[in-house]
Amino acid sequence: MAEPDLTHVDEVVERLGRSEDALIPLLQAIQARYRYLPEQALRRLCEIADITPAAVESVSTFYTQFRLRPAGRHTVRVCHGTACHVKGAPLVTDALCKHLGIEGDEDTDSEGVFTVERVACLGCCSLAPVMQIDDVTFGHLTTESITRSLDDFLELQKRRAKQRRRRPGTPREAEIRITLDSCCVARGTRDVKQAIDKALADLGIDAKVKPVSCVNMCHETPLVEIVTPDDGSHLYAQVRPDDVRAILGRHLHPGGVLAKARRTASTALEHLLTDDAWEPVTRYGLDMSTQRASSFWDPQVLLVTERAGRSDPLDLREYLETGGFEALRKCREDMSAEQVLGEIERSGLRGRGGAGFPTAEKWREVAEADSDVKYVVCNGDEGDPGAFMDRMILESYPYSVIEGIAAAAQTIGAGEAILYIRQEYPLAIPRVREAISHCEQEGLLGDLKMRVMEGAGAFVCGEETALLESIMGRRGNPRLRPPYPSRSGLWGRPTLVNNVETFALVPWILRNGADEFAKLGTEHSKGTKVFALAGKVNRNALIEVPMGITLRRVVHEVGGGIGEGKRFKAVQVGGPSGGCVPESLADTPVDYEALVHVGAMMGSGGLVVLDEDDCMVEIARYFLEFTQDQSCGKCTFCRVGTRLMLRMLERLCGGEGADGDLRELERLGHSIRDNSLCGLGKTAPNPVLSTLEHFRDEYEAHIRGRCPAKQCTALITYGINDNCIGCTRCAQDCPADAIVARPHEKHEIDTEECIRCGACRDVCPADAVEVE
């Protein structure tokens, strides 16, 4: 291998500093340059910075972002979050690797084009299964579509290279709103936007195309809203680039003679566009007043997402015009710190990161701490598989978060604020950075220094003490609490750590008053909670519901019920820290204590709905696989205990369970829960313990060699019944060549060869494939 040019290392040290605190950004910068961390570069780093080889080695091998071997030109991140998992991510990964010829321990194809990584969660659960190639997200993958996605991506790269900058336009009357969040982009909004730009140019229509915040209805994207002064608002759902011309033609009028001529010319060969002629567009029309949509919207109360679908996330003017920074102004001018604390206290706001610690109490501890240096940290390291609320909030409402942080800093007397955002959110990071810089330019932040620190891929850094370690440039190892960060946090100073959603709620509370907030919710859980609703529900969406709403209403009304006529089985609440609430307990309200009472927890707000096809033992195994993979490895109970629990669950799913296993699983689970050092370990057994409590019969069935949901491949066999019409399609799709198919005769499955992937059943037109 050629010696890499190391002058870049010197440059980044010059730019980012030589202290150990800067280690993670330094490594990120080095990796950005070389696409991995060449050993020579790391040795050079140790030479010229005040960082030891031990620190470099331990940090660079702790975070999954860092690569120590060369990578392909493009990185394919395949999501293995909960929603993706239940929707077939493992099969998609296998197909992807097979297509690229990647085998064994390798992760890069032989030509060095694509490197495939498995990631915990990309936070696009409504699009499951999902992958991200560089910054482009692809959703609803199938084993067939995956190759097409790779081709599309390479095509997009070429197009991007040619793309011109849009000319600045003249004042416009009409507005075309389109969402450009990660998940919407994945569903094709970028293509739709290009089509709109092109159509506007071709048709000579003068209208403003405005990227707006997430509209929450992930299942209906790409969404295009046309707002005209005289005609009101029209919302189109699931728009395809081909539809754009028709939609625009319906509402907007071309300007100028020349444009008219151009329009005529360019559409001469197309069919005439009129409301009557273009029938299909109505099919996509989404009338807000219809039954379906109102069941979606009515139960929701939008506080964090109050600007949903209306505002340009980065338009500071607009934010200011709609009450933005009013709360911060109040903090600075009208209210004393004590008054702000009192207001937050009266609102009953509790931490939205999961544990629900009273926010005012935390603020007060830091406010009262005796130190001339204090910090505010915004925890944006959302990493639960199945949760993407924080990403959406950061992408769509960066100013709300910034304002909340600034208000907190003002109240507690902090001079510096750090937003720790996970690097898997490539859109959120630049948006927040840009938003901060807009605020600074307008002088809105006063003396407060605010910066973004990119996480480097470690779920455990969502734990506040691990997060602080990470900010200080170390491995994300949690430490014992107490002392809590409010007393001893960053560099030993009092530090306020709150979650993104918590901060985002602060401006609303201060603007509208604590009483308005406290009106919503239950006795001890006030206000609203944002959830990522995903899984086997008809509407996968980002929702904001008042505390106290039952899970059943969320599933049936907001979520539109279970898809494909299946039976609602359980809701997984709180991701790997939470538990499964069975259908029989679905009337449990969204409330911190109530959820804990049924063995789950609020967590950071993932709601994954499970139906009769989901095996609860497999779900428990899946979560344990996740947490044990994300364990930092520091304390015995979590490092060794979660691995042992995983092995027990694997044996159960593999049909090797024995009597007594369940008791031992429970004992070990309790031991890990009670004795682990940090929240990750303490909550890791929850998915197992809650399913053991509510679905013990399924575990017992596994010990007897049966998987009731017919999911655990070691416990099921595929067969073909007499419905078979002899079409051979199953045999064509079988990846293992396990189907003996003579045309027009009943086919047979060789159970020895069969890998139980279910491809045959999906493709069979006659319902002839059976699972036993």
Partner 1 sequence: MPSIQIDNHQVEFKPGQTVLEVARGLGVNIPTLCHLPGKPARTSCMVCLVKVVGQEGLMPSCGTVCEDRMRVFTNTPEVLEARGNALELLLSDHLGDCDAPCTVACPAGLDIPQMLRYIGQGKLREAIEVIKTDIPLPAVLGRICSAPCEKACRRAAADEAVSIMQLKGYAAEADLTGGHRPYTPKPAADTGRSVAVVGAGPAGLSAAWHLRRAGHACTIFERRDQPGGMLRYALGEDRLPRRILHAEADCVRDMEVEFRFGVEVGKAVSLEELLGSFDAVFVGVGRLSEGSRPFGLDVRDGKVSVARDSLLTSRARVFAGGDVVRARRMTVRSVADGKAAAASIGLMLAGDNTDAPRRQWSCHMGRLGEQEMETFLNHANRVARIPGAAQPGELRDSLARSEARRCLRCDCRKKSSCKLRLHSAEYEASPRRFHGDRRTYTRIDGAGVVYEPTKCIKCGVCVRVAAEHKEPLGLTFVGRGFDVRVQVPFGEPLSKGLKTAARQCAAACPTGALAMRDEAS
Residues that bind partner 1 (CB under 8 A): 39, 42-43, 52-58, 61-62, 458, 475, 479-480, 482-483, 628-637, 639-644, 647, 668, 671, 673-675, 677, 682
What whole-number distance in Å separates Cα of residue 19 and Cα of residue 26? Answer: 10
Tokens representing 651? 């044996």
What whole-number distance in Å separates Cα of residue 578 and Cα of residue 595? Answer: 9
DSSP 491-520: GGS-EEEEEHHHHHHHHHHHHH-HHHHHTS
Judge whether 385 and 121 are in contact, CB under 8 Å: yes
Residue whose CB is less far from partner 1, 45 or 429: 45
The structure tokens 């499951």 sit at: 128
Crossing angle (nearest 10°) for helices 398-412 and 389-396: 90
What whole-number distance in Å separates Cα of residue 498 and Cα of residue 679? Answer: 15
- Tell the smallest beta-carbon distance from residue 478 to partner 1 (Å): 9
What whole-number distance in Å separates Cα of residue 386 and Cα of residue 605? Answer: 8
Judge whether 471 and 453 are in contact, CB under 8 Å: yes
- Tell the smallest beta-carbon distance from residue 486 to partner 1 (Å): 15
What whole-number distance in Å separates Cα of residue 386 and Cα of residue 466? Answer: 21
- Tell the smallest beta-carbon distance from residue 670 to partner 1 (Å): 10
Half-sphere exposure of 770 (CA within 13 A, CB side): 10
Task: Reduce the secondary structure of 704-741 to three states and give it as a string.
Answer: CCCCCCCCCHHHCCEEECCCCCCCCHHHHHCCCCCEEC
Judge whether 467 and 420 are in contact, CB under 8 Å: yes
Query: What is the end-to-end Cα distance of the chain in Å, rounded?
Result: 53
Instruction: Tell which residue, 429, 476, 430, has the closest CA to residue 457.
Output: 476
- Tell the smallest beta-carbon distance from residue 476 to partner 1 (Å): 8
Residue whose CB is less far from partner 1, 98 or 643: 643
Give the number of other Cβ atoms within 10 Å of residue 150's Cβ: 20
- Tell the smallest beta-carbon distance from residue 52 to partner 1 (Å): 7
User: In this structure, is the dihedral angle defined by the CA atoms of residues 173, 177, 180 and 185, taken in order, positive or negative?
Assistant: negative
Residue whose CB is less far from partner 1, 101 or 633: 633
What whole-number distance in Å separates Cα of residue 203 and Cα of residue 260? Answer: 7
Crossing angle (nearest 10°) for helices 23-34 and 7-16: 140
Instruction: Tell which residue, 345, 396, 346, has the closest CA to residue 501.
Output: 396
- Tell the smallest beta-carbon distance from residue 360 to partner 1 (Å): 22
- Tell the smallest beta-carbon distance from residue 638 to partner 1 (Å): 9
Residue whose CB is less far from partner 1, 240 or 670: 670
User: In this structure, is the dihedral angle defined by the CA atoms of residues 56, 62, 65 and 71, taken in order, positive or negative?
Assistant: positive
What whole-number distance in Å separates Cα of residue 291 and Cα of residue 284? Answer: 15
Residue whose CB is less far from partner 1, 63 or 517: 63
- Tell the smallest beta-carbon distance from residue 71 to partner 1 (Å): 18
